[in-house]
Structure 1
Amino acid sequence: MAKYSKLEDGTILTVKKSNQISKKIKLIAIAAISFVTLGLLCSFFFMKDPVIKQGYIDNTEHRFNDTIGKYTFMTHMQRYPFDKALEAIKSGNEAEIAGYRSLILDYLFEFNRQTPSVIPDLSCKKPVFKATCSEPIFSGKRDSPAKIGLLIQFGFEVDTLLIILHQYRDLVDKIFILESTRTHFKNTKKPLVWERLKYSPEFLPFSDMVVHLVVDDAPLAAASDDMWQMERYQEHQRWSKFVEWNKDTKYFTDSDLLGFGDADEVPSLNVLTELKNCKFRDEIFVVDVGIWFPMGTIYQAFRTDFPVEFTLPYTLGDPTFYTLAGAMKGGVPSRQRGTSAHHILGGMHMSNYCYLPTILLKDMTCTECGMFDKDNLQLMKERFFSNDSQVIQKWQQERCSVSHWGTRIIDVQQLDNNNRQAVSVPWYLECNKGMFPSWEHLPDSRLL
C-alpha cells in the first residue's frame, strides 16, 4: 500500500491498479503455458518408457466403469482393442503384449464382478449346528469357543467370495485375503479385487471380517524360470504378514485355530462349528478338512489326487487347520492336502466354476495356463463379434465340459456312505442357486 500513498489523483490510482492486474494476468498466462508445455514434453519423454507405456494402456484406454450397465457382455468385450493386441503379439513387443494382456483382465473383471441379477432369498436362513465333539481328533468341548482365522489366496473369484463370506460369518473371526498386484502367469499386472469390492452393498457387511494382505510390485521384479515361484512366494508372504499383524494386535492366542487354503476350498458349517467349539487331543496340532470336489457342477464328484485317505478317494484334503502354537513351531505353515495324518469331513471345493468371465480370467492368469496368444485371442474376437448370444452359451458349455476326465467323475448319488459324508453345499449357494446358475450349468442372465 505504501507505493500508492503519495498519489493524490484517484484516476491515476485506478490506472495503476489496473496495470498491476494486467501484469498478474500475463504472469498467470505465461505460467499456465509453461506448465502445459512441460507436461507435454514429460508425456512425450515418459511414453518412450515401455513400462510407463504399459501403464498407459492399462489405465486410460477405453474407460468403461461408469457405463458398464449399457452393454451386454458381448458388446462390452467388443470394445477391447483386439486388433492392436494381435498386432503387438505379431511384433513380439513384450512390453506392449503385457499391457494388452493386463487390459483384457480389466475388461473381463468388469463382468466377473457384476452382482447376480437374481435377488437373494431372504427367507432362507443359515442353519445352526451344535457341536458334538465326537470325532476322534477331539478330546472334548472347549471351555470357551476358539477364535478362527482363515488365510486364503485370492484372485478373481468374486461370486465364490460372496458365498464363503456368508458361510463363515459368526464362525470365522477373521479372513485374511492375500492378493497380489501381479498374476501367477508372467507377473501380469492385475487389479486388486477386494479394493474394488469392499464398499459395494453385498460385500460391505463383511468388511470387519476381512484383513487385506497385499503383495505389491516391488518383490516381484526378478524373473525366474520356475513357474511356481509366485505361488510359493505368496504362501510365504501370507504367513509373514499374518505373523506381523498378530504380533501387533495380539488377536489370536496359542489355542486358537488358523486355516490355510484357497478361496474355493470351503469347510462345511458343521465342520466349522466343531473346530470352533472342540479341543484337539493333546498330541494333535494340525488337521486337514476332507472336502467334496464336484468339478464344476453340484451334481457330480471328482476322484482327486490328494484325498485325506485312500478309502476316501472323492475327498480333497484342504484346507488345513493348525493351532496357532502348532503353526508357530517352525517353517511356513500351509495346506497339507491330506497328508496331516488327521482329518475331519465336510465341505466343497468350488473349483471349475463355469461362469464364463471367471473361466476366461483363470485361463489368462493361472500358473499353468496363460491363454493370451494369437490363436486364442483371434478365437475370442470371432466369438465376441459374432453378435450371437448362442455362440457365447455354446462357448461356456465347451469350457465347462469335463468329459476329458472320463471315469474320474461320477454322479454324486453314486458315492458310498463314507465319501458322501464329505458332501456339503455352502448354505448361501443352496438357498440361492438362481443367483449362481453356472453351478447347475444353466445360462446366467448377466451375460445376455
Structure 2
Amino acid sequence: MCFPGCGGQKPKASPVEEPHAAGFLSALERANITTAHLQSKLDNPITLSDTRRIMDAVTPYLLMPPEDCGLVDAAVTSREDCGLVQRRDEADDRGFAQDSIADCSSRFFWRVLTGRRREKPIRIVDVVLFGYELDLLEIRFHELDDVVAHTVLLENELSMKGVPKPLMWQEARTQERFARFANRTSSAVVLTRDTPVKKRGLWPWERATRQAAFRVVRMVDMQEGLELDNDDVIIYGDLDEMPSGESLRHLQQCEPRPGVFPLSGGLLFFIGRLDEVYLSDSPVPGWKYLLERPSYHRWHDAKRIRRLEQPKRPGGYLPGGWHLSDYPFLPFILIKRITISESRALESHIWRDVLRGEVRPDFRPLMKGWKKRLTRFDALAAHNARYRMLGEVAGRGPWYLLCNRERFPAWFWMRDRRLD
C-alpha cells in the first residue's frame, strides 16, 4: 500500500536546509485546511470542526510506515548488526545468551537492587497509554523486545480534548514492522465515545483513562492466560516515556531491595531532539535532569489498588530511559497541539514558519524558562560521572532509533520524505 506522500529520493544524511513537506501541506489544503485558514487561527481557539478536519487529513501520514514506497532501506533489527554489542552464542544454564545477562553486581543500581541475582527472572508486562505515535511504538517494541513478556496498548476513541479519534493500533497492527510483536501484544479501548467522563479540571480524559487502566490489565491477564506471579512487574506510562531495556534487564534478573515498590523510573527528558536534556518539574531526587516516569508495580501490589498511576511516594527510582517528547514529525506535532488537554491554540511564534513548509517547529519557548532548563547532554556527562555512567549503562538513547537514523530522520534534523 502506498500512502500519501512518498516523494523524492532517499533522505540525505545532512541537516535540512530547504523548505519541504509540500505534499503534506497540499493534503491539508485538499481537506480545505489552507495555510491561510490555519494562519487565521494562530493564537485563537481551534474549533471542533477544524480539529476534526485536521485529524482526518493528518491520520494517513501517521499510519504511513517509514519504508513505504521504498524510501528507506530495511531496518537494522539487532544490536549486533548495528555494532552496539559483540555477537556471542554462548548461553548460561537458564538459556540466556551471555550478552543478555544483567550484571547484578553493578553499583549503578545499588539503591534499588541488592546486588544478588533472583532465583528466576520475573516477567514484565508493559502497559502503555497510546495515542498516535506509531513510529515511537516501533522504537519501543524493539528497545524492550527481549525483556517484556507482553505489551498492553490502551487506546481511546476520544482525544484528550474529547474529540473522536481513530484507533491507530487497529489500523496498523498488520503492518510488516509490527509482525514480530503481534502475538505478544494486546489492545483495549478504555474510553469509548459513549463513556461518561466527569469534566473536572484540566485533564478529565487522562484521569478517566487511569481509573480504567487496571481493570483492563486484569482482563488481559485472564484472557491471554498470562498467569502472572506476585513478583512479576507491571510498567505503566505514556508511550513516549520509554524505559531502557538494559535497566529493565537488571530489574528482571536482579533481586530488589525491600520496600522499593511501587518503583518510579528516571528518564532523560528530550524535547524534539536528542542532544539536549530538559530540567523537568518532576525530577528524580538527586538527578535533576531525570523525569520521574514511568511507574513500576509488583503484580501482588497492583491487584490491591484501584488504578494504575505514578506513585506519589515511590519506594525507589530505577534510572535509565528517555522521555521522547514532541517527536518532530510534522503531522504528529500538529495533531498533538490540537488534541492535548492543555492546548488552547496554535501559537503563532511556532507555527508561522511551519506553515511555510519548515521542517522543525521550535517548541522550546513553550516551556517556562526553557533557556535555563536545557543543557547539552554531552557537556553534562563530561562534567558529571553519574550522567556519564547513565549513558554507558542504560544507553544514550533507544538503540533502534540510533541505529536507524534514515528511518526516523526528523529526530536528527533530516528530511522525512513521507511529507514530500
Q: CA distance change for structure 1 residues 400 and 78 in 2, over 3 Å: closer, same or farther?
A: farther
Match of 1:411 in 2: 376
Letter in 2 for 1:124: C
Q: CA distance change for structure 1 residues 279 and 422 in 2, over 3 Å: closer, same or farther?
A: same
Match of 1:270 in 2: 246
Could you tell me how far apart the structure 1 residues matched to 2:248 and 2:271 are? Answer: 23
Letter in 2 for 1:366: I
Match of 2:330 in 1: 356
Q: CA distance change for structure 1 residues 73 and 322 in 2, over 3 Å: closer, same or farther?
A: same
Q: Is 1:392 the equivalent of 2:357?
A: yes
Contact 1:182/1:190 (8 A) holds in 2: yes
Equivalence map 1:248-327=2 (5 Å): 248=223, 249-309=225-285, 311-327=286-302
Contact 2:213/2:308 (8 A) holds in 1: no
Match of 2:57 in 1: 107
Letter in 2 for 1:81: N
Unaligned runs of 5+ in 2: 8-22, 86-98
Q: Is 1:121 the equivalent of 2:38?
A: no
Q: CA distance change for structure 1 residues 370 and 115 in 2, over 3 Å: closer, same or farther?
A: farther
1:69 Cα deviation from its structure 2 partner: 4.9
1:223 Cα deviation from its structure 2 partner: 6.0
Contact 1:258/1:322 (8 A) holds in 2: yes
Contact 2:122/2:252 (8 A) holds in 1: yes
Match of 2:141 in 1: 165
Q: Is 1:174 the equivalent of 2:140?
A: no
Q: Is 1:431 the equivalent of 2:409?
A: no
Could you tell me how far apart the structure 2 residues matched to 1:201 and 1:125 are? Answer: 24
Max radius of gyration: which structure?
A: 1
Question: Cα deviations across residues 296-342 of structure 1 (Å, max 9, x unaligned)?
Answer: 21111111111221x210001211212111222333232237x4141
Could you tell me how far apart the structure 2 residues matched to 1:437 and 1:398 are? Answer: 16
Q: CA distance change for structure 1 residues 240 and 297 in 2, over 3 Å: closer, same or farther?
A: same
Letter in 2 for 1:224: K
Q: CA distance change for structure 1 residues 223 and 81 in 2, over 3 Å: closer, same or farther?
A: farther
Q: CA distance change for structure 1 residues 222 and 412 in 2, over 3 Å: closer, same or farther?
A: closer
1:99 Cα deviation from its structure 2 partner: 4.6
Could you tell me how far apart the structure 2 residues matched to 1:166 and 1:412 are? Answer: 24
Which sits farther off after the overlay, 257-266 or 122-131?
122-131
Match of 1:148 in 2: 124
Which sits farther off after the overlay, 358-367 or 399-408?
399-408
- Which residue of 104, 107, 110 corresponds with 1:133? 104
1:121 Cα deviation from its structure 2 partner: 3.2
1:221 Cα deviation from its structure 2 partner: 4.4
Equivalence map 1:12-23=2 (5 Å): none
Contact 2:328/2:411 (8 A) holds in 1: yes
Q: Is 1:246 the equivalent of 2:228?
A: no
Could you tell me how far apart the structure 1 residues matched to 2:322 and 2:227 are? Answer: 28
Match of 2:32 in 1: 81
Q: CA distance change for structure 1 residues 219 and 446 in 2, over 3 Å: closer, same or farther?
A: same
Q: Is 1:443 the equivalent of 2:397?
A: no
Letter in 2 for 1:228: W
Could you tell me how far apart the structure 2 residues matched to 1:217 and 1:370 are? Answer: 24
Contact 1:267/1:289 (8 A) holds in 2: yes
Q: CA distance change for structure 1 residues 156 and 342 in 2, over 3 Å: closer, same or farther?
A: same
Q: Is 1:204 the equivalent of 2:204?
A: no
Q: Is 1:371 the equivalent of 2:345?
A: yes
Contact 1:313/1:419 (8 A) holds in 2: no
1:209 Cα deviation from its structure 2 partner: 1.9
When the two chains are superposed, the root-mean-square deviation of aligned CA atoms in Å is 3.0
Q: Percent identity?
A: 24
Letter in 2 for 1:418: R
Which sits farther off after the overlay, 151-160 or 210-219?
210-219
> Quick check: which one's helix share is greater?
1
Structure with the larger RCO, 1 or 2 (CA within 8 Å, 6+ apart): 2
SS in 1 for 2:283: coil
Equivalence map 1:185-204=2 (5 Å): 185=161, 187-204=162-179
Could you tell me how far apart the structure 2 residues matched to 1:121 and 1:255 are? Answer: 34
Could you tell me how far apart the structure 2 residues matched to 1:402 and 1:126 are? Answer: 35
1:203 Cα deviation from its structure 2 partner: 1.4
Could you tell me how far apart the structure 2 residues matched to 1:289 and 1:191 are? Answer: 30
Contact 2:237/2:294 (8 A) holds in 1: yes
Could you tell me how far apart the structure 2 residues matched to 1:298 and 1:176 are? Answer: 27
Contact 1:317/1:336 (8 A) holds in 2: no
1:235 Cα deviation from its structure 2 partner: 0.8
Unaligned runs of 5+ in 1: 1-64, 91-95, 385-390
Contact 2:235/2:297 (8 A) holds in 1: yes
Q: What TM-score, normalized by structure 2, do the two folds share?
A: 0.78
Which sits farther off after the overlay, 162-171 or 221-230?
221-230
Question: Cα deviations across residues 158-190 of structure 1 (Å, max 9, x unaligned)?
Answer: 1111100111112101111110000011x1010
Question: Cα deviations across residues 219-265 of structure 1 (Å, max 9, x unaligned)?
Answer: 53456243311101101111111123324535311111111111011
